[in-house]
Amino acid sequence: MAPPSSSSLGHAPSSISQTNSHSQTTASQSQSNATGKAKTPYTNVVTLPDGNTVRVRIEETLAVDDVVRQLCISVKIKEPSTIYALRDGNDELVTNENLRKKVKAKVPLKLMYSTPIEAAEILEKLVARDNRLGITLTHLRKLIREDQFAIEFLNRDGLSELIDIINKYQGNILAYALTALQHLMELDHGWSDLNDDFIFRVVQILSSETPLINVCRPATAILKKLVEADPMAAPGPTMPSSSKGLPQNAPGSVYKFGFECVFEQMRKEKSLLETVVNRLGSGDTTMALYSMMLINSLLAHATDARWEEFIGELQRLNVRKAVIRLMSSHTIEDLTSCILDFQANMVRVTYRRKTTIVEPEEEPEHAAALNYVWLNSKVREEVDAEGEAVKWRLLGCQTEDLAQEFGEVGVLGLDCLKHFVAQDPDFFAKVIQEQLSRAPERRCPIVKASNEVVDLLSEYWAIFGPGYSTSTTFQPFFLNFNRVHDLATHFFLRMWNESGATRGDFPRVAALVRSQVKVALRKENVRAWHEVEADFNEVEYRAVRDRQMRELEKEDDVMSKAPVRNMRAKLYKESFEFVRQQRIHCLMQGAWFMNAMPLANNASRDTIRRPSRMWRFMRLDSNMKYLHYVDTALKFDIRNGLEDMKDRIDLSLISEIATGTCAPFPQVVRGGNDPPENGVLGGPGSPALPSPLSFSLLTPSGSSLADQIAPDQSRWADWVDGLNMLRSGGHVASNETDMFVQALTEIGLKIRLLNLSGDKAEIPSGIQSGHPPMNSDFFFSDLVYDTQG
């Protein structure tokens, strides 16, 4: 650094001045001291275009253009000041919005060419395609995130030039170009002209078996962003674009792509999905993270038209098994968040299959699955005394109406039955023949038992509806739903035989299975699979029965009946929605957090930046589109509304809410008002350890929009779960939220049951539907319950 210049920068009050040392004062400061009102000077070091540096004091109320103009005059730069701009040490553009913050923090500044000139120079170098292309693209990927630079770059048709490089280059040049485009796509404008040819090019890049990891990362993020740019996800027409002032769903909106658009190109490259799934086992954890994020995005945005095809392909590729392996080998917290999101997506997939009606006459796949089961039963169709065909009743159905038989478990039940048969077709045929050799009263209804197990497992894993998943831990057994169903169905058959059950004992055997399911699947995030197999295969009937009797002493038998289980499922959805609204309300009220430092070993961070202020207050706006915030050295009373918060974070840019990712700064000492609790502040010599109350808001590129530490566990749960619940496919991260939902569900259930048990009303085990009306000449009357008996 050259020695600071000693020439004056001007003497106008409230202006900008140059100093030789910190002891010098400006005219305005001297005047303030004379009146007894001392004003703290803010001295910044500015690096000039020629490499020399000057120390200047900048009046924080000035506009950036005025600061640049006076600086150019003071250091006698001959060119017009309009071709210059200020940047900080990290090359971030100094604007009117952030000037005050940077001046007060005494951030070193650089006088550089303005955004339009930089954009023109970079584009000129891109067109030249010389041996400095890599350096140019490296510089571009930093600047392209800025709205002002992006607009200038796009106005000069820079996007076409960037796409041309992506189409023609390989290796590191391709990686740099893709990263630049990825950063551009974090803005909500400028990339609506991307077409199917470009999407297919990205698909081809990802389909390659041996691409560079630094190519795969941005390519995966770009495809994910295109999937999420769904017209249905566009902000409302009254929400203006942050940069152009146009409605985001107007012509030129980037919300014109979505799942259908991307999946159509994926179908042309059959190996893409298989390659992405295979990368879940990549030795590069960040590559596995990006692949997991893409799969989650596709799952969350899959449309009805392609849903069956896409889910079927994922099942064929056994993506669940790949995720189970990740559960035991992952090393970063961001991947934990992605795995929990995948579990939540699988809950939605499972619920949808459970509520999809089995229609063999309409769906060839349903008919083929049923035919497979029938053929492997090796049973011949019969005719009863009334001349009606008897087929499915021989396998344990109550009627020949399969839509009704699978009514409670849908296609999920059919899939599980088919998988049960496929595991050992000879065993299935042997069991069917064995049951048919018994008296009708003593036969175990195999199909009904299989469906009952599906219902019990759905109840255990809370498969109550789309978007209602509160699991905060890994559930590898849930991802092995079919295998668990096989074990539990075998257990059902064994309990039936060992107890000498008859047709009327079906609910009793089902209760035994429910009890064993709770025991065998306990603590599934830490138990081994062979322990589950032992619990189902080796336990004796008497031991299960004795344990169940002890459980019945603590819990009324009425809780296991189907109407009560259905009531619990309904209350669970209501409780989840109530807690969701409560969490979002907490976000709208706002809260104080400590600014934190992301850990250096976290692979998802591009850079580690030190916040200039210790505290941050954040609040969600009423439209639930932005998080507004203010950074400050000391806490102060925040008024209602958003006037006190000049900065904001666009929620659409958040792709992950990672937890346990950052730590307090080692040099932070206790001080100020209301310091953090739980001793999260570190001393000068303490190591940087992750705080359990920390969380980070991450973009698809892995960069962090915010790194915060909550003051206590309750505030952490409110915000982490609230932000997750705002996202489609977001999971619950805290045990507090899970417990609240469960507690509200049980309280509501007991209140409902008190209304019945108080009147000694009998709760039926099931409701049999009668025959449908012969014509439409009827109406539904209002039901009036006589509570007086």
The predicted-structure confidence for 302-319, as pLDDT tens digits, reads as follows: 999 999 999 999 999 999
> What is the dihedral angle through the alpha carbons of 91, 93, 99, 102, rounded to the nearest 10 degrees?
-10
Reported as half-sphere exposure (CB side, CA atoms, 13 A), residue 482 has a value of 16
Chain centroid offset of residue 39 CA: 47
List Cα–Cα distances, 431 to 435, 449, 487, 536, 625, in angstroms. 6, 13, 15, 18, 58
Name the nearest CA neighbour of 105 among 38, 49, 58, 48: 58
The overall average pLDDT reported for the chain is 81
Residue 191: pLDDT band (50, 70, 90) is very high
Chain centroid offset of residue 689 CA: 25
Helix (H) or strand (E) holding 187: none
User: What per-residue confidence (pLDDT) applies to 531?
Assistant: 94
Helix (H) or strand (E) holding 632: strand 626-632
User: What per-residue confidence (pLDDT) applies to 335?
Assistant: 81
319-329 and 285-301 are packed helices; what angle lies between their axes, rounded to 10 degrees?
Answer: 140
Rounded to an integer, the average pLDDT of 469-484 is 88
List Cα–Cα distances, 455 to 228, 246, 489, in angstroms. 33, 50, 12
- Extended beta strands in 68-153, E state: 84-88, 109-113
CB of 614 closer than 8 Å to CB of 594 = yes
Task: Say which residue, 712 or 788, is predicted with more confidence.
Answer: 712
Cα 48 from Cα 77, distance rounded (Å): 10
Please check the confidence at residue 179 and state whether its pLDDT lies above 50. yes
User: What per-residue confidence (pLDDT) applies to 202?
Assistant: 95
Q: Is 319 helix (H, G, I), strand (E, B) or coil?
A: helix
Q: What tens digit of pLDDT does each residue of 136-174 get?
A: 999 999 899 888 899 999 999 999 999 999 999 999 999
Collect all residues with Cβ–Cβ distance below 8 Å to 71 and sequence separation of at least 6: 9, 16, 46, 56, 81, 111
| Domain ranges (residues) in the chain | 16-95, 114-184, 188-234+252-331, 364-560, 573-737
Rounded to an integer, the average pLDDT of 413-425 is 96
Q: Is 519 helix (H, G, I), strand (E, B) or coil?
A: helix
Rounded to an integer, the average pLDDT of 381-391 is 82
Q: What angle do CA 130, 131, 132 make, to 5 degrees?
A: 90
User: What per-residue confidence (pLDDT) applies to 751?
Assistant: 80
- φ and ψ of 665, to 5 deg: -70, 135
Q: Is 524 helix (H, G, I), strand (E, B) or coil?
A: coil
User: What per-residue confidence (pLDDT) applies to 186?
Assistant: 86
Output the six-digit token pair for 384: 């009863």
The dihedral region occupied by 396, where left means phi > 0, alpha psi between -120 and 50, and beta the remainder, is left
446-460 and 481-499 are packed helices; what angle lies between their axes, rounded to 10 degrees?
Answer: 120
What's 677's DSSP letter? S
The dihedral region occupied by 247, where left means phi > 0, alpha psi between -120 and 50, and beta the remainder, is beta
Q: Which residue type sits at 452? A: E
Instruction: Give the chain's end-to-end CA distance (angstroms, integer).
Output: 94
Residue 472: CB atoms within 10 Å: 18
CB of 74 closer than 8 Å to CB of 18 = yes
Output the six-digit token pair for 186: 């974090």
Q: 């023109």: which residue's tokens?
A: 120
3-state helix, strand, coil in the chain (%, to 5): 50, 10, 40
Q: Which residue type sits at 136? A: T
Q: What tens digit of pLDDT does each residue of 496-541 get?
A: 999 999 989 999 999 999 999 999 999 998 899 999 999 999 999 9
Cα 426 from Cα 428, distance rounded (Å): 5
User: What per-residue confidence (pLDDT) applies to 663?
Assistant: 80
Share of the chain above pLDDT 90, in %: 42
Output the six-digit token pair for 198: 């470009």
Cα 605 from Cα 529, distance rounded (Å): 35
List Cα–Cα distances, 77 to 11, 59, 68, 82, 491, in angstroms. 18, 21, 11, 12, 86
What's 341's DSSP letter? H
Q: What tens digit of pLDDT does each residue of 244-298 get?
A: 333 445 557 888 999 999 999 999 998 899 999 999 987 778 888 889 989 999 9
CB of 84 closer than 8 Å to CB of 112 = yes
Task: Say which residue, 425 or 665, is predicted with more confidence.
Answer: 425
Rounded to an integer, the average pLDDT of 69-77 is 89
Chain centroid offset of residue 343 CA: 10
User: What per-residue confidence (pLDDT) applies to 123?
Assistant: 94
CB of 661 closer than 8 Å to CB of 598 = yes
Please check the confidence at residue 33 and state whether its pLDDT lies above 70. no
Residue 21: pLDDT band (50, 70, 90) is very low
Q: Specify the fold of 16-95.
A: Ubiquitin-like (UB roll) (3.10.20)
Q: Is 356 helix (H, G, I), strand (E, B) or coil?
A: coil
Cα 19 from Cα 9, distance rounded (Å): 9
Name the nearest CA neighbour of 373 among 436, 408, 423: 423
Q: 């005059």: which residue's tokens?
A: 73
Output the six-digit token pair for 214: 């630094």
Q: What angle do CA 486, 487, 493 make, to 5 degrees?
A: 90
Query: Judging by beta carbons within 10 Å of its beta carbon (0-12, 13-18, 19+), is residue 426 exposed, middle or buried?
Result: exposed
Please check the confidence at residue 788 and state whether its pLDDT lies above 70. no
> What is the dihedral angle through the alpha carbons of 199, 200, 202, 203, rounded to the nearest 10 degrees?
120
Domain 573-737 has CATH 2.30.29.30: yes
- φ and ψ of 649, to 5 deg: -120, 125
Cα 132 from Cα 238, distance rounded (Å): 44
User: What per-residue confidence (pLDDT) applies to 26?
Assistant: 38
Helix (H) or strand (E) holding 658: strand 656-659
Q: What tens digit of pLDDT does each residue of 582-603 get?
A: 888 999 999 999 988 877 544 4
User: What per-residue confidence (pLDDT) applies to 789?
Assistant: 40
Q: 84-88 and 109-113 as β-strands: parallel, antiparallel, unpaired?
A: antiparallel
Q: Is 649 helix (H, G, I), strand (E, B) or coil?
A: strand
Output the six-digit token pair for 563: 């109407």
Name the nearest CA neighbour of 184 among 96, 119, 114: 119
- φ and ψ of 167, to 5 deg: -75, -25
Q: Is 515 helix (H, G, I), strand (E, B) or coil?
A: helix
| Range of weakest confidence among 36-40, 63-67, 124-128, 445-449 | 36-40
